[in-house]
A and B are shown apart, each in its own frame.
Chain A
Amino acid sequence: MITQTPHPITTASIVFRAKALTKTYVMGEVQVQALRGIDMELYSGELVVFLGPSGSGKSTLLNILGGLDTATSGEVTYRDHDLITATDQELTEYRRDHVGFVFQFYNLISSLTARENVAIVTEIAEHPMTPEEALTLVGLADRMDHFPAQLSGGEQQRVAISRAIAKNPEVLLCDEPTGALDSQTGIKVLEALDTVNRELGTTTAVITHNVSIGAMADRVIHLRDGLISEVQIIEHKKAPGELSW
């Protein structure tokens, strides 16, 4: 059951649009229907939280939006880019120029320092900020030359965030960014995301199964069993510092 409540900023431009989106994938001997028909839109500058239990299809949806995975059927567009019919090369360019990712397990390159991990992305971007600027933004100015092995989980995740935002992307996609962290560290990470969203106007999508996090979003999209079960509009967003779990 989908309830779509009109949003105050519908006048803002639509960044992502999905129509009848499905995704089935094969895991060994098991077939999994991750998405069963998603219709939704994301608007420029908003912070959206995708909420749902394990297996609800949230990561799958994010991966498709980010061009990291292919849909089985339906339509997905980013502005005027059709992501369904895009070739691998086109998707690569799309990711390069428009999207920043934050993964649950950071996925930093272990043989590079924090600064270099950010540099690896800025070096192929058109209008990036410097690695130093990006790391300062997340509060890691004094840890730039450390290797991931020398950083705590929260610091690694913040490096990942600064890597994602350093190229000044239009869209920031975060898959369970606080999943592996304790609540205090998690809040720091969320603060960084919030800063980026507010100060740079980056459209931000955050996936989580943690209900409390929804309070800091503009909208919360609930997913269950591969379908959108509810779309909530948050009238009064909380600051990350006010969250607790």
Chain B
Amino acid sequence: MKALDQKVLRDLKNISGMVLVIALMIACGVATYVMSLSSYDSLRITRDAYYDDYRFSDVFVSLKRAPEQVKSRLREIEGVQQVETRVVAMANIEIPGFNMPVRGQLISLPNEGGQPQMNRLFIRSGRLIDPQKDNEVIISEPFANAHNLEPGNRISAIINGRRKQLTIVGIALSPEYVMEIGPGAVVPDYKLYGILWMARPPLASAYDMEGAFNNVTLTLERGALEENVIDRLDLILEPYGGLGAYGQADQTSNFYLSEEFNQLKVMATVLPLIFMGVAAFLLNIAIGRLVRSQREEIAVLKAFGYSNLEVGLHFIKMVTIIVIIGIIAGIAFGAYIGQALSGLYKEFYRFPYLKYHLEPYLVVSSALISFAAAFAGVIFAVRSAVLLPPAEAMRPERPAVYRKMLLEWIGLGYLFDQPTRMIIRNLERRPFKAFLSIIGISLAGAIVMLGQFAYSSVDFIVDAEFRRSQRDDLHVTFSEPASRKALYELNRLPGVYYAEPYRSAQVRLRHTYHTYRTGIQGIPENSELRRLLDTDLNVIHLPENGLVLTDNLAKNLDLQEGDTVQVEVLEGKRSISNIPVVRLIHQYFGLAAYMDLDALNRFMQEQEVISGAYLSIDSKFRKDIYAELNRRPRVVSVTYREQLIQNFYDAMAENWLIISFFISMFAAATAFSVIYNNARIALSERSRELASLRILGFTRGEISYILIGELVVLGLLAIPIGFFVGWWLTAYIVYAMQTDLYSLPLIVEPGTYTLSALIVIVSTIIAGVIVKLKLNRLDLIAVLKTRE
């Protein structure tokens, strides 16, 4: 092997500590990048494959009742590929051993038996139903798991008032219900709401749907325009009480899934890119310092005729080895965690399978970025080293230019002893270098903060949305809009302190060519239990007339305050009219429309109709109230607020928290790398000087103080700057992660700042200890021999 290459290997061995630390920095950046993006990619690919393999339909519509013959008319709509009619109903489910009211969405399977044409079932265990039997049922897997149900178990369902015993024959998943979100809910609650598939005849006969259907799903031909199909569909089904057709984008399960994916995507790209960017910057500095510390050897090589290119290549080789170690470690670790993360996602999202993919672009791009950063560092450093005529480079470093410290100029010099003056003057001597060190450390501290933001934000939203805004104990939803009399009945239940009504009307909003399907929430004046709050937690009083929208929804519809929006009512008396948008508000859950309850009733041309109520109750009576409400066929769901909060945490929080955890870990490792690297290089640059001091009689402790004191000063200065940068990075992420559905508040809690500072301090301490150990072993005699 050539001698110069031999030097590469030997040098690497001599600075193996630093090599590992730099490789660690690279590995952290690469691992974060690979972990986040590969799990997101895998999830996306899996979802697409799942939808494809199990024929997730394109268009959905519910209606009151239409005879089966209408199906052929639907098939004739231009652009429609396949049509499937179903009978769908909501029922109470009774599960042995479980006391709370459980709702189930019953869905019919084809008369002939077998799988439906679309929205096919993935049978996890058991089998499909026998179409001849009318008491067999397949239940959704999360529901089954929540209640420990297996094929062979028996449950009952109150189907249209009559109790029916059902035997579970299969446990399944469907692309239509990746997220099982019940009416009135925002997150899944697998204990209280599930999906059941059964034979069509018994369902049909129970709901007077023999020879008829109340639910349609369609697949479209390639190139068909969804809007046109929907329009035609609505036209045909209107006489049959059609509630307005919608596509995949608006389908509940897919909608929530897409929202989650959007957020994941942002987390998966923005966070790692920031990380990689910081890691690249720090890498650049570290490598630059490494090269510069070899200044003299570079000069010798040049003296003996090695060209600038050859010298540069020499260092490029050194750096390549370091970078390769880092990349391999980073990709391996990142893929490992990515796989684990994907496994978690699979569990959470109830996909039947998961295809973990490590796309080549991830490997290539992370390698490219790392190499680019490292090589840039080498090139700049080598360039400056070879620009000097070799003689100058080999000249003993002239005593550096020192000046009186700033503090001495203002007369405070007497406060400091010699060693302390050495620290301060050394920092002031090369302010740019000190500045770079501080920036490096503060960046590391900043990304520690980034890893934490999710915790604070989630807590805040929960508090704002579920505790301050919603102050009810129970939320009751009716199966159909009811008169205010229902409210009086609720009020009279023993244990109910107060019942507050609300009206939720299904509408389609239209402005220019933008449409959005949603429910207008009618809230009574001076509501107590459900208050409308904006993001500053101020109570919003609804105007007597007119519509109030959240600004996100307004943006979707390209609306401003004062504009008029066309409202197409999709239930009851179907009507289309215009309402002025009198106010825009800003909320965390972003897409909502509100009106005063009376104003909404007036608009809907109905008399004091309500969709449900919020109850404030005496908790001693909860079970009884549940039981009573369960008996009422008109009550379709009862949710309990604390459960909602728990569900929210279970649903939303888990993903972010896991990613945040790993990012925090990597950030901490990076922080340590930066600080240790600084310390190590400072040591090699100053060791001669410090050894001279030892010879003069300074103790080990005193020279440690000089070196470590400098590290501490840099660290302390870096901490507040890290806070500042970290705050801005967090603000950027929050901004980037806003979706239509919700926006995260920018909350940086004291704990986050503390963690960042703590990590910098602990890293400094550890680095300091290592440096002190090395200082203790300083070779004093060698110093005497070499020139100063």
In the bound complex, do residue B3 and residue A119 qualify as a contact, i.e. CB atoms below 8 Å apart?
yes
A186 to B7, CA, bound (A): 29
Question: In the complex, how many residues of chain B place their beta carbon closer than 8 angstroms to a beta carbon of chain A?
Answer: 34
Residue numbers in B under 8 Å from A96 (CB-CB): 304-306
In the bound complex, do residue A120 and residue B391 qualify as a contact, i.e. CB atoms below 8 Å apart?
no
In the bound complex, do residue A112 and residue B10 qualify as a contact, i.e. CB atoms below 8 Å apart?
yes
Is A117 positioned at the interface, with any CB of B under 8 Å from its CB?
yes
Is A20 positioned at the interface, with any CB of B under 8 Å from its CB?
no
Given A109-B7, A112-B10, A117-B3: A92 and B394 within 8 A (CB)? no
In the bound complex, do residue B389 and residue A70 qualify as a contact, i.e. CB atoms below 8 Å apart?
yes
In the bound complex, do residue A111 and residue B7 qualify as a contact, i.e. CB atoms below 8 Å apart?
yes
Is B401 positioned at the interface, with any CB of A under 8 Å from its CB?
yes
Closest CB of chain B to A41's CB: distance in Å? Answer: 22
Of the stretches A100-108, A189-197, A222-230, the one at the interface is: A100-108
Residue numbers in A under 8 Å from B7 (CB-CB): 109, 111-112, 116, 120
How many Cβ-Cβ contacts under 8 Å join chain A to chain B? Answer: 86
Q: Which chain B residue has the least Cβ–Cβ distance from A115?
A: B3
Residue-by-residue, is A82-95 near B (CB-CB < 8 Å gives 1, otherwise 0)? 00000011001101
Residue numbers in A under 8 Å from B536 (CB-CB): none
Is A9 positioned at the interface, with any CB of B under 8 Å from its CB?
no
Residue numbers in A under 8 Å from B392 (CB-CB): 25, 69
In the bound complex, do residue A112 and residue B3 qualify as a contact, i.e. CB atoms below 8 Å apart?
yes
Is B14 positioned at the interface, with any CB of A under 8 Å from its CB?
yes
Q: Which chain A residue has the least Cβ–Cβ distance from B11?
A: A111
Main secondary structure of the interface of B (DSSP, over half): helix
In the bound complex, do residue A120 and residue B305 qualify as a contact, i.e. CB atoms below 8 Å apart?
no
Of the stretches B36-44, B232-240, B295-303, the one at the interface is: B295-303
Q: Which chain B residue has the least Cβ–Cβ distance from A69?
A: B391
In the bound complex, do residue A101 and residue B304 qualify as a contact, i.e. CB atoms below 8 Å apart?
yes
Residue numbers in B under 8 Å from A92 (CB-CB): 302, 305-308
A120 to B310, CA, bound (A): 12
Given A107-B300, A119-B3: A95 and B305 within 8 A (CB)? yes
Is A234 positioned at the interface, with any CB of B under 8 Å from its CB?
no
Is A124 positioned at the interface, with any CB of B under 8 Å from its CB?
yes
Is A68 positioned at the interface, with any CB of B under 8 Å from its CB?
yes
In the bound complex, do residue A111 and residue B787 qualify as a contact, i.e. CB atoms below 8 Å apart?
no
Given A88-B308, A120-B304, A121-B304: A109 and B389 within 8 A (CB)? no
Q: Which chain B residue has the least Cβ–Cβ distance from A88?
A: B308
Interface set, chain B 5-31, CB cutoff 8 A to A: 6-7, 10-11, 13-14
In the bound complex, do residue A28 and residue B297 qualify as a contact, i.e. CB atoms below 8 Å apart?
no
**Residue from the set A69, A93, A104, A153 with the largest chain B CB neighbour count within 10 Å:** A69
Residue numbers in B under 8 Å from A151 (CB-CB): none
Is B2 positioned at the interface, with any CB of A under 8 Å from its CB?
yes
Residue numbers in A under 8 Å from B390 (CB-CB): 68-69
Residue-by-residue, is B668-704 near A (CB-CB < 8 Å gives 1, otherwise 0)? 0000000000000000000000000000000000000
Is A180 positioned at the interface, with any CB of B under 8 Å from its CB?
yes
Residue numbers in A under 8 Å from B6 (CB-CB): 112, 116
Residue numbers in B under 8 Å from A89 (CB-CB): 307-308
Is B785 positioned at the interface, with any CB of A under 8 Å from its CB?
yes
In the bound complex, do residue B4 and residue A123 qualify as a contact, i.e. CB atoms below 8 Å apart?
yes
Closest CB of chain A to B171's CB: distance in Å? Answer: 66
Residue numbers in A under 8 Å from B73 (CB-CB): none
Is B222 positioned at the interface, with any CB of A under 8 Å from its CB?
no
Is A63 positioned at the interface, with any CB of B under 8 Å from its CB?
yes
Given A28-B398, A109-B297: A69 and B389 within 8 A (CB)? yes
Q: Which chain B residue has the least Cβ–Cβ distance from A94?
A: B305
Is B205 positioned at the interface, with any CB of A under 8 Å from its CB?
no
Is A1 positioned at the interface, with any CB of B under 8 Å from its CB?
no
Closest CB of chain A to B298's CB: distance in Å? Answer: 11
Closest CB of chain B to A160's CB: distance in Å? Answer: 10
A121 to B303, CA, bound (A): 10
Is B786 positioned at the interface, with any CB of A under 8 Å from its CB?
yes
Residue-by-residue, is A106-137 near B (CB-CB < 8 Å gives 1, otherwise 0)? 01010110001101110111000000000000
Residue-by-residue, is B50-90 near A (CB-CB < 8 Å gives 1, otherwise 0)? 00000000000000000000000000000000000000000
A99 to B302, CA, bound (A): 12
A193 to B3, CA, bound (A): 25
In the bound complex, do residue A28 and residue B389 qualify as a contact, i.e. CB atoms below 8 Å apart?
no
Residue numbers in B under 8 Å from A235 (CB-CB): none
Residue numbers in B under 8 Å from A101 (CB-CB): 303-304
Residue numbers in B under 8 Å from A163 (CB-CB): 304
Closest CB of chain A to B412's CB: distance in Å? Answer: 25
In the bound complex, do residue B786 and residue A105 qualify as a contact, i.e. CB atoms below 8 Å apart?
yes
Residue numbers in B under 8 Å from A95 (CB-CB): 302-305
Residue-by-residue, is A41-77 near B (CB-CB < 8 Å gives 1, otherwise 0)? 0000000000000000000000100101110000000
Is A29 positioned at the interface, with any CB of B under 8 Å from its CB?
yes
Residue-by-residue, is B391-414 near A (CB-CB < 8 Å gives 1, otherwise 0)? 110100011110000000000000
Residue numbers in A under 8 Å from B297 (CB-CB): 109
Is A170 positioned at the interface, with any CB of B under 8 Å from its CB?
no
Residue numbers in A under 8 Å from B10 (CB-CB): 111-112
A49 to B787, CA, bound (A): 23
Given A27-B398, A69-B389: A116 and B308 within 8 A (CB)? no
A145 to B675, CA, bound (A): 37
Is A39 positioned at the interface, with any CB of B under 8 Å from its CB?
no
Residue numbers in B under 8 Å from A119 (CB-CB): 2-3
In the bound complex, do residue B4 and residue A120 qualify as a contact, i.e. CB atoms below 8 Å apart?
yes
In the bound complex, do residue A124 and residue B306 qualify as a contact, i.e. CB atoms below 8 Å apart?
yes
Q: Which chain B residue has the least Cβ–Cβ distance from A107?
A: B300
Residue numbers in B under 8 Å from A116 (CB-CB): 3, 6-7
Residue numbers in A under 8 Å from B394 (CB-CB): 68, 103, 107
Residue numbers in A under 8 Å from B296 (CB-CB): 107
Closest CB of chain A to B788's CB: distance in Å? Answer: 11
Residue numbers in B under 8 Å from A111 (CB-CB): 7, 10-11, 13-14
Q: Which chain A residue has the least Cβ–Cβ distance from B297?
A: A109
Closest CB of chain B to A20's CB: distance in Å? Answer: 20
A88 to B786, CA, bound (A): 29
Closest CB of chain B to A232's CB: distance in Å? Answer: 27
In the bound complex, do residue A105 and residue B787 qualify as a contact, i.e. CB atoms below 8 Å apart?
yes
In the bound complex, do residue B785 and residue A180 qualify as a contact, i.e. CB atoms below 8 Å apart?
yes
Closest CB of chain A to B409's CB: distance in Å? Answer: 18
In the bound complex, do residue B3 and residue A120 qualify as a contact, i.e. CB atoms below 8 Å apart?
yes
Residue-by-residue, is B699-741 near A (CB-CB < 8 Å gives 1, otherwise 0)? 0000000000000000000000000000000000000000000
Closest CB of chain B to A105's CB: distance in Å? Answer: 6
Closest CB of chain A to B331's CB: distance in Å? Answer: 30
In the bound complex, do residue A124 and residue B305 qualify as a contact, i.e. CB atoms below 8 Å apart?
yes
Contact of B389 among A68, A112, A180 (CB under 8 A): A68
Residue numbers in B under 8 Å from A109 (CB-CB): 7, 297, 300
Given A92-B307, A96-B304, A111-B10: A123 and B2 within 8 A (CB)? yes
A208 to B300, CA, bound (A): 21
Residue numbers in A under 8 Å from B303 (CB-CB): 66, 68, 95, 101, 107
Q: Which chain A residue has the least Cβ–Cβ distance from B304?
A: A121
Closest CB of chain B to A157's CB: distance in Å? Answer: 12
Residue numbers in A under 8 Å from B4 (CB-CB): 120, 123
A111 to B302, CA, bound (A): 17
A116 to B7, CA, bound (A): 9
Given A107-B300, A180-B785: A123 and B3 within 8 A (CB)? yes
Please list 30 pairs of residues, one from A and one from B, whose beta carbons are closer than 8 Å in the complex, sorted by A's number.
A27-B398, A28-B399, A68-B389, A68-B391, A69-B390, A69-B391, A70-B389, A89-B308, A92-B302, A92-B307, A92-B308, A95-B303, A95-B304, A96-B305, A97-B305, A99-B305, A105-B786, A107-B296, A107-B299, A107-B394, A109-B7, A111-B14, A112-B3, A112-B10, A116-B6, A116-B7, A120-B304, A123-B4, A153-B785, A163-B304
Interface residues in chain A, defined as those with a beta carbon under 8 Å from any beta carbon in chain B: 25, 27-29, 63, 66, 68-70, 88-89, 92-93, 95-97, 99, 101, 103-105, 107, 109, 111-112, 116-117, 119-121, 123-125, 153, 163, 180
Further contacts, 19 of them, CB under 8 A, given A27-B398, A103-B394, A107-B300? A25-B392, A28-B398, A28-B399, A63-B389, A66-B303, A68-B303, A69-B390, A69-B392, A89-B308, A92-B307, A96-B304, A101-B303, A105-B787, A109-B300, A111-B13, A116-B6, A117-B3, A119-B2, A124-B305
